[in-house]
Amino acid sequence: MHASPMSEVIIPFASTTRMWWKRPLDVVLVLMGLAVIWPVFLMIALAVKLNSPGPVFFAQTRVGKGGQTFRMYKFRSMYVDAEARRAALLGQSDRAGICFKSRNDPRVTPVGWFLRRVSLDELPQIFNVLNGDMSLVGPRPALPEEVREYPARAMGRLATLPGITGLWQVSGRADIGFGDMIDLDLGYVRNASLTTDLAILMRTFGAVASGRGAY
């Protein structure tokens, strides 16, 4: 994790919950998961590499706790020129609000479409969790250009570590508009608890299976 101009953002409030359990829970669950899913990592990496030219992993700058930026990792689900083509597609977003989402994004590869549908493209973020940039549960990390457009109240979602999953993801993901996403994230920041995190992790399996809002 490293500081950037984004780290100068003023956070309107911070979580008052002392989440001493969060880091141990993240590390234990990630290490247990790695022992089981490493063959899946290898199969996905091979599928990505064979499907289209380019690297297996995709790294992108995201905004984390307190406005600090970090490099977030995913399995590459798009063609290598996807970032260059993003600006031309912003007007075609299927989601209301700041964050761009498209159901028929032409930049997504065939293998990438499947990975996104079942959220397997997010698996490499467990290394972000081990590194302390992210948690298993929390608000999704936003792009710097998105944070620069945030209204003041939305800055409150930066008061805690971003997560691989969270209330937004288990409530409908991209089908949830920006305003409702902020409400869910702020509710989590104010009321996070061990039982809440465990419940969200359990609900994540159902959300992945349903595929609702996964695009």
Predicted pLDDT at 18 = 66
Query: How sure is the predictor about 127, in pLDDT bands with cuts at 50, 70 and 90?
Result: very high
Q: Enumerate the domain spans of the chain.
A: 18-209
User: How far is 29 from 51, CA to CA, in rounded Å?
Assistant: 31
Mean pLDDT of the chain: 85
Q: Are the beta carbons of 157 and 190 closer than 8 angstroms?
A: no
User: How far is 72 from 133, CA to CA, in rounded Å?
Assistant: 8
120-148 CB burial, b ≥16 within 10 A, e <16: bbbbbbbebbeeebbbbbbbbbbbeebbe
Q: Which residue has the higher pLDDT, 168 or 1?
A: 168
69-99: pLDDT as tens digits:
999 999 999 988 877 777 666 666 555 556 6
Q: Are the beta carbons of 141 and 73 closer than 8 angstroms?
A: no
User: How far is 148 from 106, CA to CA, in rounded Å?
Assistant: 26
Residues with Cβ within 8 Å of 6's Cβ and at least 6 positions away in sequence, in order, are 63, 67, 68, 69, 144, 147
Q: With a cut of 70, say whether residue 214 has pLDDT above it.
A: no
Query: How sure is the predictor about 171, in pLDDT bands with cuts at 50, 70 and 90?
Result: confident
Q: Are the beta carbons of 169 and 141 closer than 8 angstroms?
A: no
Amino acid at 135: S
